[in-house]
Every structure is written in C-alpha cells, then in structure tokens.
Amino acid sequence: MRILTLFTSALFFFSLFISCSTSVEGVAVLDCAAFDKSLKALDKPQLIDVRTAQEFVDGSIYDAMNIDFYNDDFKSAMNQFDKKQPIFVFCAKGGRSSSASKICKELGYETIYDLKGGFTAWKEYAN
C-alpha cells in the first residue's frame, strides 16, 4: 500500500512538471507560473527580453535586460552572460525567444528557460 501511495505521489508531481514545461532541443519551455517561480528562486537571474526596444519600453518583466533579437550584434550581446547560470528568455509570443534559445544553446549555455506564450501570456498571468 505504501509503495502504491509513493508511486501515485511521484506520478502526480511528474505530470504537474510535464504540464508546466516542455523541453525543446535542450531548452525548457516553461509556462508563466513555472517561469516566475524559477526567476524568484535566484538572487540575480539573467532575464533577457528579446523584443524590440519599442516593445520593451511598453512594458517588460521585472528587471529584464533588453537585447533585440533583430539586431546584427544579437549573438555577441548574448555571449556576455554567465553560461553556467540559468538564462531566461522571452519575446512577445514565443517565436523569437525560441530562436534566441537555440542561439543560447549554440553559445554553450547550460540551462535555458523560454517563456511559453511570451510577454502576451505574462500580462494575463500577472493580472
């Protein structure tokens, strides 16, 4: 009976984790709640908003740093962070951050979190 209870508990937490994130080519794609929780678990998270400067001015998440995915120097700008620390990326809806996450992987980042649904989903989550 105890083994069944442990198995049921483990299955519940596993399904909860799966529903909150997916992994695409070594990148954890997190829903807003999981992204938020992961951010708050760190003192100084590396949070990157890959939207344009105008999109960034209109609002962002916490103390995100803006590095426009469309800039010619995007790759070199992304190379400045600590690759052993988690890096969090987001855009408006998830397309650019998915591409940015792949670049982070190429650059050697060990842990990459991409916000599922982007800032659009975050605004709904935060309200």
Q: Which residues are the active-site residues?
A: 91
**Do residues 104 and 87 lie in contact, with contact meaning Cβ atoms separated by under 8 Å?**
yes
Residue 104 CB neighbours (<10 A): 27
Burial track 91-100 (b if 16+ CB lie within 10 A, e otherwise): bbbbebbbbb
**Do residues 12 and 5 lie in contact, with contact meaning Cβ atoms separated by under 8 Å?**
no
Burial class (CB in 10 A: 0-12, 13-18, 19+), 32: buried
Q: Which residues pair with 120 in a beta bridge?
A: none
